[in-house]
Amino acid sequence: MIRVVIANQRGGVGKTTCAVNYAWYLAGKGNRTLLIDTDSQGSISVMLNLKPRNFFNQFLIHKFHLDECTVKVTDKLDVLCGNKDTIQAESAMAGAVVRELALKIMMEPYESRYDAVVIDVAPSINLLQSCAMVYARNVVIPVDMDLLSLNGANAAYDMMRLLNDLIKANIRAIGLMPCQVDQRLSVTALVQQSLQKMSEMFDVPILPAIRTDQTVNKAFRARKALLDFDPNSKAAQDYLAAFAQITAMIEASDGQTQTANV
């Protein structure tokens, strides 16, 4: 099973675009896929023009059945949307024992229904991000061509390491994904150099880059996933290459884990 969280503490780097399109990609390959929005901005419902009856908060805190909270987008793709009530979920969980396990525990009864779960998180260090990392154990870190985005990537990586040290969560970074890449801008080369250093220091690969492409914004205005709106666009083609690699890496590591558990 593929479980992955798309994280970077910096805002606007392309987390939600990546999460929505990776979920779309996996569903398109025939995987029963669940896309979860743990961000109180509720961007996924806006991006895909969804009108859920219930949201992430009702699922996690009020223990509603998952079916009462998800929206079926395609035959293979369900979405659990976030909204501003997610802020209440954070505070409701604050004092709970083993709170980092909350999402893992809530998802357990539904595991057999899905082949893939993709999780989008907020651009901040918060408890829900930890819950998402502990549950998914695979983290993709999008980095846009802005130096602060590298700080955000660092913060996501530190959080992973902390959870691994403190609760043996066994989380790993699948890769750093350069996003909104425009080679004409001088800052791009600078960020790419720093990204290379970060990749070597953390021993985390750099994934195929996603070029800046206005089709991403057009797809957003049309309230569609980019891969649905224009699969031949530059950014869509880049995403396809990156997603193939992410999937292969997660499947390879799952195989190793299974062998190790035999």
Binding site for Mg ion (CB under 5 A): 15-16, 43
Closest CB 82 distance from ligand ATP, rounded Å: 10
Q: How many distinct helices (H) and strands (E) make up the chain?
A: 12, 7
Contacts of 164 (CB under 8 A, 6+ apart): 170, 171
DSSP codes, 147-172? HHHHHHHHHHHHHHHHHHHHH----E
Starting at the edge strand found earlier in the chain, the sheet holding 116-120 runs: 70-72, 77-80, 33-37, 116-120, 2-6, 138-144, 172-179
Closest CB 122 distance from ligand ATP, rounded Å: 6
Pick 161 or 224: Cβ nearer ligand ATP: 224
- The entry of ligand ATP, Mg ion, none near residue 28 (CB within 5 to 8 angstroms by kind) is none
209 CB-side CA count, 13 A: 16
Pick 13 or 160: Cβ nearer Mg ion: 13
Closest CB 245 distance from Mg ion, rounded Å: 22
Pick 49 or 170: Cβ nearer ligand ATP: 49
Residue 163 token pair? 């959870």
Residue 175 pairs in a beta bridge with: 140
Pick 151 or 170: Cβ nearer Mg ion: 151
With contact defined as beta carbons under 8 Å apart, do 69 and 44 qualify?
no
- The entry of ligand ATP, Mg ion, none near residue 235 (CB within 5 to 8 angstroms by kind) is ligand ATP
**Which residues of this chain interact with ligand ATP, rule CB under 6 A?**
11-17, 39, 41, 43, 123, 179-180, 210, 212-213, 216-217, 220, 235
Pick 12 or 108: Cβ nearer ligand ATP: 12
- The entry of Mg ion, ligand ATP, none near residue 35 (CB within 5 to 8 angstroms by kind) is none
Closest CB 44 distance from Mg ion, rounded Å: 8
Closest-CA residue to 234 (of 190, 188, 180)? 180
Pick 29 or 211: Cβ nearer ligand ATP: 211
- The entry of ligand ATP, Mg ion, none near residue 119 (CB within 5 to 8 angstroms by kind) is none
Closest CB 137 distance from ligand ATP, rounded Å: 21
Closest CB 2 distance from ligand ATP, rounded Å: 20
With contact defined as beta carbons under 8 Å apart, do 224 and 74 qualify?
no
With contact defined as beta carbons under 8 Å apart, do 14 and 217 qualify?
no
